[in-house]
């Protein structure tokens, strides 16, 4: 169960500080400044420049283990030994559970017999003469060929004697008839052999090979399952078992009956941590795997660096408090230095800080400097003599946290005033 699911969705705060509201890189300090004006009023001004604008997000994150190994029952049986408790630290190679292998031994013996029979069936195709039907057909053909050879030789001799007047016509005809009968027997034996061979054609050979592979795989699997008893920890970590819930699975105890493939426990590696958090649908497209972030743990009072490793392709089914879609994001954490007692972090919350480029080389001004007009939107540009302003139609772009991007209509270095004069 993902630990993020244990925490109710908190509405994370987007501190659109833009690196102090706007992280304007370069020389000079941006803000409002007063200028002289004929009527004695001092309009607010903004000098247009191209800058890279960054944004900082502060979100609530939950610590998870980045490496969890799930262990399942290798075969059917009854648990006879249990050597761990929930939330207990175990070491790689420690015996965790032992299952009575009586049923497995019986299954393995049956599988071994089936495997041996499949081997024998496959070997028949390498020595077809040992197949009873084929062997019998070959013997019948050999006898028929020998009989036909003798009958033909005798018929030829009788024909010579008949020509010399030594034997009668009937004797000659009888010899020829016997030769014809033996020839028919040879043909029948050849057809019988061909039929026997056809029954062991390439398709049946392939079936025998498939059966052999399946029998071997089953036998090897049962053999390996027997070798996996007792079940040992593949890694060092914290043992976790499913807690009993209404209608849920009861934790495995000594005397419990388990089935092959049934989940028994999970091992959580506390030395590899991750932060799970949610990001609004508008901002998630600005994130990318490998992007750096910071996580401040409330438990340890320690800041940890991290990198985003996962961004969900689909939004969470539950909308945020602001009725907007949110996407699950995970980042691998690296304590600096490695925190002793880091396992206490798992399940705790902390502050996720993400900084990313909002606009690159953009002209950005406060939205109060942009006014609606019949031709679209305008800004008021101060004349060089500073005594008057000019309405200028502009094309706007992105709007974020009280700032708007100007894509055309003004040039860097020009001064805008909030109100015309």
Structure confidence at residue 343 (pLDDT):
56
The answer to whether residue 57 is domain-embedded is yes
Q: What is the pLDDT of residue 13?
A: 32
Confidence of residue 126 (pLDDT cuts 50, 70, 90): low
Which CATH number does the domain housing residue 238 bear? Answer: 2.40.50.100
* 381 assigned to some structural domain: no
Residue 351 lies inside a defined structural domain of this protein: yes
My answer on whether 170 and 185 are in the same domain is: yes
Do 136 and 87 belong to one domain? no
Residue 170 lies in a domain: yes
Q: Does residue 61 surpass a pLDDT of 80?
A: yes
pLDDT at site 332: 92
Q: Which of 355, 379, 401 is the last residue of a domain?
A: 355
Q: In terms of domains, do 258 and 278 share one?
A: no
pLDDT tens-digit readout, 226-242: 887 889 999 998 898 87
pLDDT at 25: 29
Residue 136's pLDDT band (cuts 50, 70, 90): confident
Do 286 and 349 lie in one domain? The reply is yes
More confident residue, 19 or 132: 132
Query: Where in the sequence is the domain holding 45, given as residue range(s)?
Result: 3-19+38-67+270-355
Residue 79 lies in a domain: yes
Summarize the confidence of residues 255-283 as an average pLDDT: 89
Closest CA to 345 of 273, 292, 295, 277: 273
Domain shared by 233 and 96, yes or no = yes
Residue 370 lies in a domain: no
Q: In percent, how much of the chain has pLDDT > 70?
A: 82
Q: Is residue 123 part of a domain?
A: no
Give me the chain's average pLDDT, please: 80
Into how many domains does the chain fold?
A: 3
Positive or negative, the CA dihedral 91, 97, 102, 105 is: negative
Residue 129 confidence (pLDDT): 52
Res. 5: pLDDT tops 70:
no
Contacts 24+ apart (CB under 8 A), 404-409: 404/364, 404/365, 404/366, 404/367, 404/370, 405/359, 405/362, 405/363, 405/364, 406/48, 406/363, 406/364, 406/365, 406/370, 406/379, 407/363, 409/379
**Whole-angstrom distance, CA of residue 8 vs CA of residue 205:** 61
Rounded distance between C-alpha atoms, residue 381 and residue 371, angstroms: 12
Please indicate, yes or no, whether residues 95 and 236 belong to a single structural domain of this protein. Answer: yes
CA 128 to CA 125: how far, in whole Å? 5
Question: What's the pLDDT score for residue 269?
Answer: 87
Is it the case that residue 329 has pLDDT exceeding 60?
yes
Nearest of 94, 86, 82, 349 to residue 238 by alpha carbon? 86
The reported pLDDT for the residue numbered 235 is 92
Mark whether 255 and 185 lie in a shared domain: no
Mean pLDDT in residue range 325-349: 75
Residues 10 and 87 in one domain: no
> For residue 131, what pLDDT band results from cuts at 50, 70 and 90?
low
Which pTM was predicted?
A: 0.52
CATH number of the structural domain spanning residue 162: 1.10.287.470
pLDDT of residue 47: 94
CATH label of the domain that carries residue 311: 2.40.30.170
Residue 96 near residue 73 (C-beta atoms within 8 A): no
In the predicted model, is pLDDT for residue 286 greater than 90?
no
* Alpha carbon separation from 418 to 330, 406, 413 (Å, rounded): 43, 15, 16
Q: What is the pLDDT of residue 301?
A: 76
Give the pLDDT score at 260: 87
In the predicted structure, residue 168 carries a pLDDT above the cut 50? yes
| pLDDT tens track for 350-400 | 999 998 888 889 999 999 999 999 879 999 999 988 888 999 999 998 887
Torsions phi, psi for 14 (to 5 deg): -90, 105
- Whether 248 is covered by a domain: the verdict is yes
Give the end of a domain, one of 331, 355, 379. 355
């Amino acid at each position: 169960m993902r630990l993020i699911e244990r925490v109710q969705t908190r509405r994370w705060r987007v501190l659109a500080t833009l690196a102090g509201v706007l992280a304007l890189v370069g020389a000079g300090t941006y803000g409002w400044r007063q200028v002289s004006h004929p009527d004695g009023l001092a309009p607010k001004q903004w000098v247009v420049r191209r800058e890279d604008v960054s944004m900082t997000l502060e979100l609530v994150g939950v610590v998870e283990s980045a490496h969890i190994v799930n262990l399942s029952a290798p075969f059917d049986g009854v648990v006879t030994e249990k050597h761990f408790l929930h939330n207990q630290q175990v070491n790689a190679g420690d015996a965790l559970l032992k299952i009575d292998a009586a049923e497995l031994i019986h299954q393995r013996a049956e599988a071994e017999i089936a495997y041996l029979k499949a081997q024998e069936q496959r070997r028949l195709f390498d020595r077809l003469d040992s197949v009873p039907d084929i062997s019998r057909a070959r013997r019948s053909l050999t006898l028929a060929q020998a009989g036909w050879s003798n009958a033909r030789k005798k018929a030829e001799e009788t024909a010579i004697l008949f020509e010399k007047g030594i034997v009668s016509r009937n004797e000659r005809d009888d010899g020829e008839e016997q030769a014809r009968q033996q020839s028919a027997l040879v043909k029948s034996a050849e057809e019988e052999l061909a039929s026997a061979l056809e029954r062991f054609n390439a398709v049946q050979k392939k079936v025998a090979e498939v059966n052999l592979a399946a029998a071997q795989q089953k036998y090897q699997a049962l053999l390996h399952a027997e070798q996996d008893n007792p079940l040992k920890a593949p890694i060092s970590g914290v043992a976790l078992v499913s807690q009993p819930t209404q209608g849920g699975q009861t934790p495995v105890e000594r005397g419990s009956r388990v089935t092959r493939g049934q989940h028994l426990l999970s091992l959580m590696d506390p030395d590899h941590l991750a932060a799970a958090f949610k990001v609004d649908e508008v901002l998630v497209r600005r994130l990318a795997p490998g992007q750096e972030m910071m996580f401040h743990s409330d438990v340890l009072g320690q800041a940890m660096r991290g990198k985003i490793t996962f961004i969900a392709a689909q939004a969470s089914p539950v909308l945020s408090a602001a009725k907007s879609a949110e996407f699950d994001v995970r980042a691998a954490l690296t304590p600096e230095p490695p925190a002793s007692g880091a396992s206490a972090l798992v399940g705790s919350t902390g502050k996720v800080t993400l900084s990313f480029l909002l606009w690159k080389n953009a002209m950005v001004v406060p939205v109060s400097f942009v006014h609606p007009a019949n031709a679209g939107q305008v800004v008021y540009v101060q004349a060089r003599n500073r005594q008057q302003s000019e309405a200028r139609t502009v094309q706007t772009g992105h709007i974020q946290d009280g700032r708007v991007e100007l894509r055309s209509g003004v040039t860097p270095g020009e001064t805008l005033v909030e109100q015309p004069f």
